[in-house]
């Protein structure tokens, strides 16, 4: 698999995002899916995927703490691109146990509590969605945070045990919004009110012009800890399977 990943990175090094998607959707032939958070980058990818192969499996997560605008966007996106977007929900019993033991807003108390909440509301559901898949597509960009600065177009995802494809990895935020405006793609209106990165409501806030892109996410934590467990990156040759 390491050799295949290296070959794909070499093959796709100068490819456009659409060319990356066309290649991997064909190569992984029904064993690839797209995980959308309904963010700006993911809306771009949904538009591209719908044009290439609208039957590609797309899913999103309803954590139970999302903004209403995010929930509305799911329906608007389905209608705009005529695609199916499966919505996954956390296990009620696990959420109930966590909240009763640690409180409704446990995530403000420690990184450990916040990661527990993210795991129950997000990671477990993604793990379920990836069963039987060989690859998944994400909207990660190097510009987004220090934890993503060294990622490639194609990575081995150690956490989930499959290939991760990042078609927009080298895109700038300006490129994302240029594509959205040019193609009239629906997006979360919170982006027009200072929300540059949108997650769960209690863990997301607007930022000031010039602030770091993800400074409004888990703003009480250090920048190098701001991942929820879906995109943990280990820069190591040993992270690839033989």
Active site amino acids: 228
Which strands sit side by side in the sheet containing 135-137, from one edge to the other?
Answer: 85-88, 57-61, 32-35, 135-137, 162-165, 154-157
CB 48 within 8 A of CB 17: yes
Sign of the torsion angle spanned by Cα atoms 172, 177, 183, 186: positive
């Amino acid at each position: 698999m390491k050799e295949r990943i290296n070959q794909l990175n070499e093959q796709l090094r100068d490819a456009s995002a659409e060319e990356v998607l066309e290649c991997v959707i064909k190569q992984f032939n029904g064993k690839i899916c797209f995980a959308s958070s309904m963010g700006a980058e993911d809306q771009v990818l949904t538009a591209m995927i719908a044009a290439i192969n609208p039957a590609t499996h797309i899913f999103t997560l309803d954590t139970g703490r999302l903004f209403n605008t995010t929930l509305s966007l799911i329906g608007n996106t389905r209608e705009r691109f005529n695609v199916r977007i499966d919505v996954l929900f956390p296990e009620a019993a696990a959420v109930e146990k966590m909240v009763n033991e640690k409180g409704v807003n446990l995530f403000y108390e420690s990184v450990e509590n916040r990661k527990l909440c993210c795991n129950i509301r997000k990671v477990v559901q993604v793990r379920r969605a990836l069963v039987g898949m060989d690859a998944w597509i994400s909207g990660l960009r190097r510009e987004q945070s220090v934890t993503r600065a060294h990622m490639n177009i194609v990575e081995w995802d150690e956490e989930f045990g499959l290939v991760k494809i990042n078609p927009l990895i080298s895109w700038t935020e300006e490129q994302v919004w240029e594509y959205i405006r040019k193609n009239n793609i629906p997006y979360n209106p919170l982006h027009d009110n200072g929300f540059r990165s949108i997650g769960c409501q209690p863990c997301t806030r607007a930022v000031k012009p010039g602030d770091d892109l993800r400074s409004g996410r888990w703003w009480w934590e250090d920048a190098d800890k701001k991942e929820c467990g879906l995109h943990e990156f280990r820069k190591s040759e040993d992270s690839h399977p033989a």
